């Protein structure tokens, strides 16, 4: 069964949502039912006992690791060497899977592994920061396998997710329910109408190798990618709302971006914000404290390159993913340098024509990036 991808899933989703609605309308906690429903639906999606065992093994490994880490930090906080080891161990299943996939095998393939890893790494990092002191096994498993978000996000964070587990007032839940149903309907339209249309257009009109056909492919693929992924994210957020979880949005009008930094504040936001908070910002703090570079601008430029390179590697070890990450790293670094040093930008940045020109240039750069991401370049 494909989550948010086939009719059978939506039939299961409707049935699964009914008890959640009853619990929500009667102001009862949905947590335990949501956990049971997630286990059931994820097992249907996995389809094999081998996949179920791999998922169970992963959850057990990560929980034991994080539980031991919380106990260790309580006794010996701010141990940087231990922190590096634990963080690497948390990332190891994903690294093994990515490397083995690039080598032509599928060691430790598991549904949602990339997205679950973000949640586990976030918990390791925030435990080190002193923000997380303990987590129960049920809360941990529910966070990881919450079925609307397990396969392709959005990427929620543990403290925000756990704050939604308490019962919700009836009037508030009714608003959440209505918004959730609206998002699911909108997501269905995005994914199965618009995305399908652009995909067919790409196949029919952009399959050749001429410049014209490559340009058609570039724009059609970019629009297909947006409507397919944004549609999925809308449905995931909508289903989350029905289960009482306010999963954060993933897209906010990305094609209205005025520059490439603005684009990454609007596109796959839970991913870009994760990298901003847990990689880029921490790299910048360390570089400033350690005086690694002559000025902050150099550090920021290198930070952008590192941030986007890691994001590219997270997508996969294939050349086009790495190139995609480096491309956006260069764009972000170049934008940062231009905006900090250009008097022309500082003079005109609030002018309407300049903002409009920025949108036009940005969208072309974004679609070039999509073309690189597609692997057809």
- Looking at the structure, do residues 158 and 265 belong to the same domain, yes or no? no
Spatial distance between the Cα atoms of 35 and 27, rounded to a whole number of angstroms: 17
User: 369 with 315: CB under 8 angstroms?
Assistant: no
- Looking at the structure, do residues 152 and 51 belong to the same domain, yes or no? yes
Structure tokens at 320: 């086009």
pLDDT for 221 beyond 80: yes
Structure tokens at 122: 């976030």
Domain assignment present for residue 105? The answer is: yes
Domain assignment present for residue 130? The answer is: yes
Domain stops at, among 162, 182, 216: 162
Q: How many CA atoms lie within 13 A of 58 on its CB side?
A: 29
Spatial distance between the Cα atoms of 252 and 256, rounded to a whole number of angstroms: 9
Domain assignment present for residue 173? The answer is: no
The DSSP call for residue 252 is: S
Domain assignment present for residue 313? The answer is: yes
- Looking at the structure, do residues 33 and 155 belong to the same domain, yes or no? yes
In the block, which residue shows the tokens 């539980």? 67
Q: What is the pTM of this model?
A: 0.92
Say what the pLDDT of residue 211 is.
85
Domain assignment present for residue 47? The answer is: yes
- Looking at the structure, do residues 39 and 153 belong to the same domain, yes or no? yes
Contacts of 169 (CB under 8 A, 6+ apart): 27
Say what the pLDDT of residue 125 is.
96
- Find the domain containing 134 and state its range: 29-162
- Looking at the structure, do residues 155 and 259 belong to the same domain, yes or no? no
Catalytic residue among 315, 320, 345, 348: 315
The CA distances from residue 165 to 24, 135, 158, 159, 214, in Å, are 11, 13, 11, 11, 48
Spatial distance between the Cα atoms of 169 and 72, rounded to a whole number of angstroms: 38
Nearest to 370 by CA among 267, 271, 262, 272: 267
Spatial distance between the Cα atoms of 283 and 277, rounded to a whole number of angstroms: 10
| 165-215 per-position pLDDT tens digit | 999 999 999 999 999 999 999 999 999 999 999 999 888 887 777 888 889
Q: Is the dihedral of CA 156, 97, 87, 276 positive or negative?
A: negative
- Looking at the structure, do residues 42 and 144 belong to the same domain, yes or no? yes
Domain stops at, among 162, 185, 204: 162
Domain assignment present for residue 58? The answer is: yes
In the block, which residue shows the tokens 């596109």? 267
User: 40 with 33: CB under 8 angstroms?
Assistant: no
Q: What average pLDDT score do residues 261-273 get?
A: 96
Say what the pLDDT of residue 103 is.
75
- Looking at the structure, do residues 33 and 146 belong to the same domain, yes or no? yes
Domain stops at, among 116, 137, 162: 162
- Looking at the structure, do residues 37 and 156 belong to the same domain, yes or no? yes
Domain assignment present for residue 225? The answer is: no
Number of domains within the chain: 2
Exposure of 104 by Cβ count < 10 A (0-12 exposed, 13-18 middle, 19+ buried)?
exposed
User: 87 with 125: CB under 8 angstroms?
Assistant: yes
pLDDT band at 109 (very low <50, low <70, confident <90, very high): confident
Per this entry, what is the length of the chain? Answer: 377
Structure tokens at 309: 């390179």
Say what the pLDDT of residue 101 is.
80
- Looking at the structure, do residues 141 and 40 belong to the same domain, yes or no? yes
Domain assignment present for residue 339? The answer is: yes
- Looking at the structure, do residues 39 and 152 belong to the same domain, yes or no? yes
Tell me if residue 345 is catalytic: no
Say what the pLDDT of residue 258 is.
95
């Amino acid at each position: 069964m494909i989550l948010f991808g086939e009719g059978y899933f939506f039939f299961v989703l409707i049935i699964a949502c009914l008890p959640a609605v009853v619990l929500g309308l009667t102001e009862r906690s949905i947590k335990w039912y949501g956990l049971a429903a997630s286990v059931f639906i994820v097992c249907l999606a996995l389809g094999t006992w081998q996949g179920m065992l791999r998922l169970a093994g992963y959850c057990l490994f990560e929980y034991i690791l994080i539980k031991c880490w919380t106990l260790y930090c309580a006794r010996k906080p701010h141990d940087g060497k231990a922190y590096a080891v634990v963080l690497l161990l948390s990332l190891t299943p994903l690294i093994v899977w990515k490397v083995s996939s690039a080598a032509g095998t599928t060691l430790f393939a598991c549904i949602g592994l990339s997205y679950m890893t973000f949640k586990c790494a976030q918990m390791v990092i925030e435990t080190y920061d002193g923000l997380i002191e303990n987590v129960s096994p049920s809360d941990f498993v529910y966070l990881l396998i919450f079925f609307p978000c397990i396969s392709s996000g959005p990427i929620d964070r543990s403290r925000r997710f756990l704050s939604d587990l308490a019962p919700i007032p009836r009037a508030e839940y009714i608003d959440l329910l209505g918004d959730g149903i609206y998002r699911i309907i909108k997501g269905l339209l995005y994914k199965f109408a618009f995305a399908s249309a652009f995909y067919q257009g790409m196949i029919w009109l952009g399959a050749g190798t001429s410049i014209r056909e490559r340009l058609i492919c570039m724009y059609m693929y970019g629009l297909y990618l947006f409507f397919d992924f944004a549609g999925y994210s809308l449905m995931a957020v909508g289903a989350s709302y029905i289960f009482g979880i306010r999963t954060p949005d993933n897209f906010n009008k990305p094609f209205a971006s005025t520059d490439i930094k603005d684009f990454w504040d609007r596109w796959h936001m839970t991913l870009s914000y994760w990298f901003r908070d847990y990689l880029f910002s921490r790299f910048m703090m360390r570089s400033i404290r350690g005086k690694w570079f002559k000025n902050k601008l150099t550090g920021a430029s290198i930070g952008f390159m590192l941030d986007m390179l890691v994001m590219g590697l997270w997508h996969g070890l294939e050349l086009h993913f790495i190139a995609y990450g480096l491309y956006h790293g260069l764009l972000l670094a170049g934008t940062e340098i231009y905006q900090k040093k250009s008097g022309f930008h500082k003079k005109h940045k609030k002018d309407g024509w300049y903002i409009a020109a920025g949108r036009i240039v940005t969208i072309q750069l974004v679609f070039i990036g999509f073309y690189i991401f597609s692997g057809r370049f």
